[in-house]
């Protein structure tokens, strides 16, 4: 069993943390994040340290990492890079929509959430930028579901450092 929950979270000087009822509010130079904390978890703030105590061991480490990611998010933000691999696969951004050309008859339109910023580079690389890593990765997986990587040819939508284990094709 992991003991990540025991680790104390260090709070940088430029981050302000407030604990109101069961809500944790993290304020930083890039924005504000709010998370509801279960009643089984107790947070104690001591100068520039945040200590987590819990009666439920299953939630202990999870919420420690969620809170740590909130602090990193409002301080530095997160970037997820998606790469389109395949002949004719293209991505465009128009208004608040991502348009994907993935070899289907129609172009796929996906609305961009307000909390995420998107940048397209040379029609095959897509950057997702935001404060909440959980929302960014969920959105990236939604995009990726339209064309998952093919284990035979390697075509599809891939994450930045993702490696595909290729399968062997038919032998003659």
| CA dist., res. 141 & res. 153, Å (int) | 20
The whole-model pTM stands at: 0.87
One fold for 4-75 and 78-159: yes
**Residue ranges per structural domain of the chain:** 4-75, 78-159
- Class of CATH domain 4-75: alpha beta
Contact call for residues 26 and 17 (beta carbons, < 8 A):
yes
First to last CA, the chain: 49
| Structure confidence at residue 1 (pLDDT) | 54
Angle, helix 133-144 to helix 57-75, in steps of 10 degrees: 90
| Structure confidence at residue 134 (pLDDT) | 92
Handedness of CA 31, 36, 40, 46 (dihedral sign): positive
Question: CB burial class (10 A; 0-12, 13-18, 19+) of residue 131?
Answer: buried
Report the CATH number of the 78-159 domain: 3.90.930.12
* pLDDT, one tens digit for every residue, the chain (172 residues): 568 878 899 999 999 999 998 899 999 999 999 999 998 888 888 889 988 888 888 888 889 999 999 999 999 999 999 999 999 999 999 999 999 999 999 999 999 999 999 999 899 999 999 999 999 999 999 999 999 999 999 899 999 888 888 898 888 7
């Amino acid at each position: 069993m992991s003991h990540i929950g025991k680790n104390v979270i260090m709070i940088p000087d430029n981050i302000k943390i407030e604990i109101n009822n069961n809500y944790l509010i993290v304020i930083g130079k890039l924005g504000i994040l709010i998370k509801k904390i279960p009643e089984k978890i107790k947070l104690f703030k001591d100068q520039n340290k945040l200590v987590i105590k819990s009666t439920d061991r299953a939630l202990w480490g999870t919420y420690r990492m969620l809170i740590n990611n909130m602090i990193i998010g409002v301080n530095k933000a997160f970037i997820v890079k998606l790469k389109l691999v395949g002949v004719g696969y293209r991505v465009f951004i128009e208004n608040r929509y991502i348009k994907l050309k993935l070899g289907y008859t129609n172009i796929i339109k996906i609305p961009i959430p307000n909390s995420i910023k998107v940048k397209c580079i040379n029609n095959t690389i897509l950057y997702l930028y935001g404060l909440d890593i959980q929302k960014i990765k969920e959105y990236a997986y939604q995009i990726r579901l339209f064309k998952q990587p093919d284990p035979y040819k390697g075509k599809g939508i891939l994450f930045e450092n993702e490696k595909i284990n290729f399968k062997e094709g038919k032998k003659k």
